[in-house]
Structure 1
Amino acid sequence: MDLISALNWRYATKRMNGEKVPQEKIENILESVRLSASSIGLQPYNVIVVEDPAVKEKIKAVANNQPQIAEASHLLIFAAWDTLTEEKIDNYINLTASTRNMPVESLSTIKGYLSAILKNTPEQNFNWMARQAYIAFGTAITAAALEQVDATPMEGFNGPALDELLGLSERGLKSVTILTLGYRDTTTDWLAPMKKVRYPKEELFVNITDSDLKEAV
Structure 2
Amino acid sequence: MSIIEKLQWRYATKKFDATKILSQEKLETLKEAFNLTALSYGLQTLKLVIVEDKMDREKLVEVAYGQRQVVEASHLLVLCIQNEIDDTDVNTHFETIKAIRNTPDAILEPFKEQMISTINDMQSDKKVGWATRQAYIALGNLMTVCAVEGIDSCPMEGFLPEALDKKLDLDKHGLSSVLLLPVGYRADDDMFADFKKVRQPLSKTVIEL
TM-score normalised by the shorter chain: which range applies? over 0.9
1:160 has 2:162 as partner: yes
Whether the 8 Å contact between 1:7 and 1:142 is mirrored in structure 2 is yes
Query: Offset of 1:48 from its aligned partner?
Result: 0.1
For residues 43-98 of structure 1, give each alpha carbon's deviation from its aligned partner in whole angstroms, at most 9, with x where no partner exists: 21100011111111112221111011110001110001122111121111111111
- Larger deviation, residues 43-52 vs 25-34: 25-34
Partner Cα separation in structure 2 for residue 33 and residue 101 of structure 1: 24
Using structure 1 for the length normalisation, give the TM-score.
0.91
Whether the 8 Å contact between 2:86 and 2:119 is mirrored in structure 1 is no
Indicate which of 117, 125, 128 corresponds to 2:127. Answer: 125
Which one-letter code corresponds to 2:198 in the other structure? V
Gaps (5+ residues) in structure 1?
209-217
Which one-letter code corresponds to 1:54 in the other structure? M
Per the alignment, residue 14 of structure 2 pairs with 14
1:61-72 pair list within 5 angstroms: 61-72=62-73
Q: Would the alpha carbon gap of residues 204 and 132 (structure 1) be closer, same or farther in structure 2, given more than 3 Å must change?
A: same
Structure 1 runs (4+) deviating above 3 angstroms are none
Whether the 8 Å contact between 1:74 and 1:182 is mirrored in structure 2 is yes
Using structure 2 for the length normalisation, give the TM-score.
0.94
Partner Cα separation in structure 2 for residue 24 and residue 192 of structure 1: 25
Partner Cα separation in structure 1 for residue 196 and residue 98 of structure 2: 49
Q: Percent same amino acid among aligned pairs? A: 38
1:1-217 pair list within 5 angstroms: 1-18=1-18, 19-111=20-112, 112-187=114-189, 189-208=190-209
Which one-letter code corresponds to 1:150 in the other structure? D
Query: Offset of 1:114 from its aligned partner?
Result: 4.3
Which one-letter code corresponds to 1:4 in the other structure? I
Aligned-residue Cα RMSD (Å) equals: 1.3
- Larger deviation, residues 88-97 vs 145-154: 88-97
Which one-letter code corresponds to 1:9 in the other structure? W
Gaps (5+ residues) in structure 2?
none
Query: Offset of 1:204 from its aligned partner?
Result: 0.8
Partner Cα separation in structure 1 for residue 26 and residue 5 of structure 2: 18
Partner Cα separation in structure 2 for residue 119 and residue 190 of structure 1: 50
Whether the 8 Å contact between 1:40 and 1:110 is mirrored in structure 2 is no
Partner Cα separation in structure 2 for residue 37 and residue 140 of structure 1: 12
